[in-house]
Amino acid sequence: MISTDRRPVADERLERFIRLMPKVELHLHLEGSVRATTLLDLARRYGVALPADDVDGLARWYACRDLRRFGEVWEAIVTCLRRGADFARIMRELGESAAAQQVRCVQVTFAPSTHRRIKSLPYDEIWGGIREGADWVERTLGVRLQFAPAFSRGLRPAGTGGDGSVEETLEFAVAHRGEGVVALGMGGYEPGNPPELFEEVFQSAKAQGLRCWPHAGETAGPESIWGAVRTLGADRIAHGVRAVEDPDLPAYLAAHRIGCDVCPTSNVCLGVSPSLEQHPIRRLLAAGVPVTVNSDDPPLFGTTLTDEFLALACYQRFTAAELAALVRTAVEVSFLPKDEMAALRARFDRELETAACETGVDL
C-alpha cells in the first residue's frame, strides 16, 4: 500500500481543486471495492474465518503490498458475497464513495461466473442484487453507472477445454445489455493467457453490440496490448501502461483513440511500476494516448480516485489544467451514448470552471 502520510503535501489550492473537480471512473472492480468493515461484517454473518477479526487488524491485512496478498484478500471477498442482498449493499457503498468524490459516472466491472461457480449463486440473483443497488445509486446519488462483466483469462473457451464460464459471461453481458451493461471485460494473469485465445468470444460480443474492454499491458508487455487491439478489437484497454515498452504502440493507440485506463497506485502495489515518481503515465500522454486515471480496487490498494489525482499532483507535478484534461478524456473514451457524452462534457466544462474559480487555480 502507498501510505498517504508519506505523500508530500500538494499545493493547497490544487488539492482543493482536485477534491472539487468532477470525475469519471472507468476501471473499478465491484469485488475490489468492498471495504474492510463490510468484509468483516459479512464474514461474521456467514461464519467465515478471516486472518483478523477486528477492524484495525483487518485493515492491516487488507493493505496489499504484493500479488499474493491481493489474491488472498480477493478470495476472502468472493467467499463472503453470498446473496443478492450482499451485492446490492456493496453496490450502494461503491456509489456512496463515488458521490463523495464528485464522481459523476462509473464503469463497474465484476466476474459473474466466479460467483456462479464457487458458490452456486444463480446469475439472476447476482445481477438482481447489483441492479437493485445500482438503481438506488443512480436515483438517490445521481451517479451514472455502466457495467462490464468480465471473465478471467486463466479460463478457456468451451471448445478448448473450458468449463463454459467464458461463454456464460458473454451470455450474461448480452442478456443485460439494455440494463446498463455496455462491454465485455477480461481480467487475470496475462502470461500464458494471450488475447488471441479469446478472439471468437470478443467477435461475438462486438457483433451483439457490446464494447471490448480487456485488461492488457499490466502483467505482460506490449504483445498483450497488440493482441488486444488487433485480434480482439479492443475499444479501450484496462491498464495498457506497458505500451511504452514498444516504439510504435503508443502512436497506434493515439491514432485510433484507444484509451488506456491507468491505475497508478495499483501499478506500484503490484510491481508494474517501481514508484509513483517513475510511473510512465507522462510518457503515454506525451505520445498522445487517451489516458484516464482510475483506482482499480481502491480499499485493497489503500487509495481512492481522489488520491490517484493527488498522487499525480504530488509525485509527477501535474497541474490543474493537466488533471482537468485527464477528466475530459475519461468522458470522451467512456462508453456512454453520444448524447449523454455530449451533455456530460458540457456539464464538466461548467463544473471544472466553477471548481477553478472557487480554488483560484488556472485551467
Question: In the beta sheet, which residues pair with residue 236?
Answer: 259
Closest residue to Zn ion, judged by C-beta, is 296
Instruction: Tell me whether residue 296 or residue 351 sits nearer to Zn ion (CB atom).
Output: 296
Give Dmax (Cα) for the chain.
60
Q: CB 55 → Zn ion: shortest distance, Å?
A: 26
- Is 218 assigned a catalytic role? yes
Instruction: Tell me whether residue 296 or residue 307 sits nearer to Zn ion (CB atom).
Output: 296
Q: CB 29 → Zn ion: shortest distance, Å?
A: 6
Residues 169-188 that bind Zn ion (CB under 5 A): none
**Exposure of 214 in the CB half-sphere (CA atoms within 13 A):** 33
| Selected range binding Zn ion among 54-62, 148-156, 174-182, 289-297, rule: CB under 5 A | 289-297
| Selected range binding Zn ion among 82-90, 222-230, 290-298, 350-358, rule: CB under 5 A | 290-298
Burial 11-44, CB ≥16 within 10 A → b, else e:
beebbbbbebbbbbbbbbbbbbbbbbebbbebbe
Binding mask 241-280 for Zn ion (x = CB under 5 A): ----------------------------------------
For 319, the grid coordinates are: 497541474
User: Which listed residue (15, 93, 168, 218) is catalytic?
Assistant: 218
Closest CA to 168 of 187, 155, 179: 155
Instruction: Tell me whether residue 14 or residue 130 sits nearer to Zn ion (CB atom).
Output: 130
Interatomic CA distance for residues 11 and 151, integer angstroms? 41
| Selected range binding Zn ion among 69-77, 96-104, 277-285, 294-302, rule: CB under 5 A | 294-302
Q: How many CB atoms lie within 10 A of CB 351?
A: 19
| Selected range binding Zn ion among 56-64, 73-81, 126-134, 291-299, rule: CB under 5 A | 291-299
Closest CA to 217 of 305, 275, 147, 284: 284
60, 66 Cβ separation under 8 angstroms? no
Interatomic CA distance for residues 103 and 92, integer angstroms? 14
Q: CB 266 → Zn ion: shortest distance, Å?
A: 7
Binding mask 43-82 for Zn ion (x = CB under 5 A): ----------------------------------------
DSSP state of 234: -
Q: CB 263 → Zn ion: shortest distance, Å?
A: 7
Q: CB 303 → Zn ion: shortest distance, Å?
A: 13
Instruction: Tell me whether residue 84 or residue 290 sits nearer to Zn ion (CB atom).
Output: 290
101, 305 Cβ separation under 8 angstroms? yes
Instruction: Tell me whether residue 168 or residue 297 sits nearer to Zn ion (CB atom).
Output: 297
Residues 295-324 that bind Zn ion (CB under 5 A): 296
Instruction: Tell me whether residue 28 or residue 289 sits nearer to Zn ion (CB atom).
Output: 28
Q: CB 240 → Zn ion: shortest distance, Å?
A: 11
| Count of positions on this chain that bind Zn ion (CB under 5 A) | 1
Q: How many CB atoms lie within 10 A of CB 357?
A: 10
Residue with cell string 500538494: 10
> Computed from CA positions of residues 215, 220, 224, 229, in that sequence, does the dihedral angle turn out positive or negative?
positive
Strand duo 211-216 + 291-293: pairing: unpaired
Chain positions contacting Zn ion, by CB under 5 A: 296
Mind telling me the catalytic residues?
218
